[in-house]
Structure 1
Amino acid sequence: MSTNKAFLGINLDLLENPKYKNLDSRATILYALYADRYAASLHNARLGNTAFVDNMGVFIRFTNELAAKVLHTTEKMVGKFRKQLSDCGLIKIVRDGLKGYKIYVAPVEETPDNVELILPWKNHRVETTKVTSSWTTFAKLEFCKSLSLSTQITDMTVKSQTSTTCLPKESTSLTHSSLSQSFDNYNGLVGNAHAREASQSENQTQINSQTQINSQKAKKPNPYHTLPDTIKKSFNNVFGFITAPVAIELHTLIDQANEEMVNYAITSSKGRKITSPISYLKSAITNAVKRGAKCAQDMLNYYNDHVKGNATKRVARRSKPRYMSYDQAKEKVDAAMQQLRLTNPEEWLRITQKKKSQSQPKLVTPIYHLGE
């Protein structure tokens, strides 16, 4: 039967301290999850991985979606539990970006001495056995000398192995005082991170691979610096600052056509209301290449022959009045009535009488009220 089982510990002060009496039981489990993750982040930070360390200390990332799956509840309920923990001062949440959050886990306050414990530990005894490893400091130093490692890595390995294997294990006690002391040593969060510790060689391999990746990124040139000066100047003048993704897109357009055509497409768009410069430039260069344009002069000729003339015609058509004025309409009506008088006098007379009857005011019938 295997005894290497990972477990999730819950600090009993969350149950005993009256300060946390309003905490939901699932909020207590959520804090235990946060504390366990914090212990892992703290352990990695001590090994030199500062990915989860900033100027405020060690933090964790634990999404509400993952917490909802673990607690078998909804994300909305997880948000309520997280607010309970924040109100009690157990966690501090800081927004990181648009959707991300950093969670800083605070220690649990010790139960006051004047509070009667619900779960006293006086009837529990735990027997511990101290084990002294034969892997001494001298043996580790001799082993490190045999490896072709740098001085910095050797010192770090000896320090890490000394702190984890040379020192004898302390006696274990389940009293509240011992739990609080252990909590102070680890900022109040002692989880089972040791169950997830990898071997020292594996950690060293990860460090070496990360160093190699960082060196490759450092050698990669910035795409902005490799852009031609004419493209930089024209783009900054028309659209503004060039970011790294925009610089990559500009390199792609230059490869698709040439520097002269891209520069013409940029300068010719000055003064226009363009919301997406890269999309506009892509469309202009792609259409020009499809038409068979080889240089900026070909693009200019196409604009003068097919675009500029049509735009002038459209403006000329819009400049003409679309509706007649009142005087023009009256003149046309009078001329039509005069023509009708000569050709059809009876119809003209009928229309004239009808217009006169409509223009005369109607007789108003007085309304009498009862009693008048």
Structure 2
Amino acid sequence: MRLFKKLALVAALVLPMQAFAEDPMKVGFVYVGPVGDHGWSYQHDQGRLALEEHFGDKVQTTYVENVSEGADAERTIRKLAQAGNDIIFTTSFGFMNPTARVAKEYPDKTFLHATGYKRSENMGTYLSTTYEGRYVSGTAAGMVTKTNKLGFIASFPIPEVIRDINATFLAARKINPDVELKVVWVSTWFDPAKEADAANTLMDQGVDVIIQHTDSPAAMLAAEKRGIWAVGQASDMSRFGPEAHLLSVVDDWAPYYIQTVQQVMDGTWKSEDYWGGIHEGDIKIASISDRLTDEQRKKIDDTIEAIGNGSLHPFTGPLKDQSGKLRVPEGKDMTKEELAGMNWYVEGMTSTLPK
């Protein structure tokens, strides 16, 4: 009888533990745009889907799209925490402060914020080094431009976007010293109408290659219509402009999401500022145009390889800003901390930063 009671007690203890162990890890995602934007939010959602495919029933994911930066973001993040999500990824710069506030309220949960700089014991930051992809874009654009005028559709004047503009210009100027880079600021991440207007404004000014840091394919569609080149943002946008498409800089978030969730599962995750680029497989160059010559294609491939193996850093000194002030000494690579605070244009840029 005593043996039977002991076995019954063990069974009573083990069964709930087994049930608990089989509960999936709940992972929430917050997107600033719609998952169908074919750019930034779309690629993050592709990473979420890859996470589900990799872990199967070990994870349960959910997402909220079209979340405004500010009070709406904080409410959304808090609701995801209240709903029992163990990990919450917030995927836009403007979500930083809301994420930090909610992370303080839920110290037992893990928060990851894309492109920001605020961290705590249970909140980390991550980004893809898109400036590496922009450097490749600038290399390609410098080779194909006929007017020597390139255009950049910019979202907001934050370091991430400024880095990308500078990287594009530095690479293009290295190929073609006569290149000028015109910038139009649209103050949005996703607004197809504004993006199309910006593209047409740039083309009216003689631009024949458009690069963008906004998320819809509107600029690619406009470039296709008017017969110029364009570079895809965040995802492969070649299908929107078969003739216009020069290449796309693709953010592949799957490796980071899978790695991070595994670390949380294993209990090894620690807050950090993660930067992943071409070397890590987080940045890929997709669908390079077959209209390029073999020589042009080789130059692009060589640039990708050099960045990937570390022999080329897009921001190696000497680098001066627009005023002529030396910002990076000769032979020195900019550090992550310096890049994270970049708020100046490099020498030769004729555009001015918004105040």
| TM above 0.5 | no
Q: Which structure is larger by alpha-carbon Rg, 1 or 2? A: 1
Question: Would you tell me which structure has more strand in proportion to its own residues?
Answer: 2
TM-score category of the 2 structures, normalised to the smaller one = under 0.3
When normalised by structure 1's length, the TM-score is 0.18
Question: Would you tell me which structure has more helix in proportion to its own residues?
Answer: 1
